Structure 1
Amino acid sequence: MDDIERASQEIFRVFMAEHWVRFYFAMENEGVVFLDVPAEAIEALKGTEAALAEFVAGVNGQPIDMESSRRAVGEFVFRTMEGGSYPTGLVGRAFDGKSLALMLKLFSVWLSGHEEMLDAEVLPLLEWERLFTAWRQDPAVARFAANLAAAGNPATPASGAIH
């Protein structure tokens, strides 16, 4: 696996953490949506994924919308990876690369197909990651991913096609 692929996977995990936080801990107060992550959830994450716990702690208590979510992910990724874990410029290339785009597309499909299950109880972030990884190993999903990768960016298949 090359550096861009590794960076793409690390960036994807931050996107997943951001979505997990919004999925379970977004609250509305007087028309403003903000994140209210319990301290014990951050502490549990800190025990297994210190960097992702740092990200979650950084967005906790903040008002959130699509733009602020994207900005939070980008700022965190560039602050923690660019020029440190990866050479300058590589993180930007990973953000713009096909590998990250494919993972995000697959994640979107997975979320759509599993929302009811995910909504039944608050699952730890690592469980989301385990479930998503297992789903990607399904032969139908692997074929779908290969077709997506080969075709560029086709529309998502009709419901029921891969889940």
Structure 2
Amino acid sequence: MIRSVSIKSAVKDTIEIFQFEQWLRFYFVEEKGEELWIEIPDEVMADLKENHPQLQHFADTVNNAPTDYKRSQDNLCAYVAARLDGQKYESTVLPQVFDNATFKIEMYIFNVWMKMHEQYLDEEYMDFDGWLEMYEGWNSMDEVKEYRRKLVDNGTDPGVPACGTAQ
């Protein structure tokens, strides 16, 4: 099996997984006693199986389970490591992703978008494709492109959390 050494592709794949996890937590977190749980309805799981089978496996992992910041980060890192590190990409690629400026800036920009649109996103459920479509529309605006350029030009490190990967 030939594994990719493309950091650019690995960054793209990892960003998608992180965005997906944000989407899951945005719509499917429920309070159960003192804990927060992810509970994804069966019809959403069926839709994911059909339209995003690679991400549906992650949804299976976190569905009907408690969540918090640490569990969320652990689940993300474990999934990225299991699905991408040494599988799709050479084992030297993923450790570079989390230090990559593009990864950090894209995740920062995505989080800015979420904060700016939280009220709208909260009005009614939007599937993952809808989220990505809305984000891409916003992301293509000249103001957003300029902001991204400034982050890149200034070498700003937005401080996105990283995952430790097995070497």
TM-score of the alignment, normalized to the shorter chain, above 0.5:
yes
- Match of residue 90 from structure 2: 87
* Aligned pair partner of 1:16 in 14, 19, 34: 19
RCO higher in structure (CA 8 A, sep ≥6): 2
* Aligned pair partner of 1:152 in 150, 155, 158: 155
Cα displacement (A) at 1:105: 0.5
The Cα offsets for residues 15-50 of structure 1, whole Å up to 9 and x where unpaired, read as 111111111110111111110100110110111111
* Aligned pair partner of 2:65 in 52, 58, 62: 62
One-letter code aligned to 1:143: E
Cα displacement (A) at 1:126: 1.0
Query: How many pairs were matched up?
Result: 154
- Match of residue 75 from structure 1: 78
1:97 equivalenced with 2:97 (yes/no):
no
1:106 equivalenced with 2:109 (yes/no):
yes
- Match of residue 120 from structure 1: 123
The Cα offsets for residues 62-112 of structure 1, whole Å up to 9 and x where unpaired, read as 110111111111100110011121111201111221111011100111001
Once the two structures are aligned, what percentage of the paired residues are identical?
A: 25
- Match of residue 32 from structure 1: 35
* Aligned pair partner of 1:6 in 2, 9, 21: 9
Q: Structure 1: where are the runs of 5+ without partners?
A: 156-163
Matched position secondary structure for 2:37: strand
- Hey, what's the Cα distance between the residues in 2 that align with 1:34 and 1:89? 34
Matched position secondary structure for 1:17: helix
After superposing on structure 2, the runs of 4+ consecutive aligned residues of structure 1 that deviate more than 6 Å are none
- Hey, what's the Cα distance between the residues in 1 that align with 2:61 and 2:54? 11
- Hey, what's the Cα distance between the residues in 2 that align with 1:95 and 1:52? 19
Cα displacement (A) at 1:153: 2.3
- Match of residue 137 from structure 2: 134
User: As a proportion of its length, which structure holds more helix?
Assistant: 1
- Hey, what's the Cα distance between the residues in 2 that align with 1:147 and 1:133? 19
TM-score (norm 1): 0.90
Cα displacement (A) at 1:152: 2.3
What is the CA RMSD across the aligned residues, in angstroms?
1.3
TM-score (norm 2): 0.88
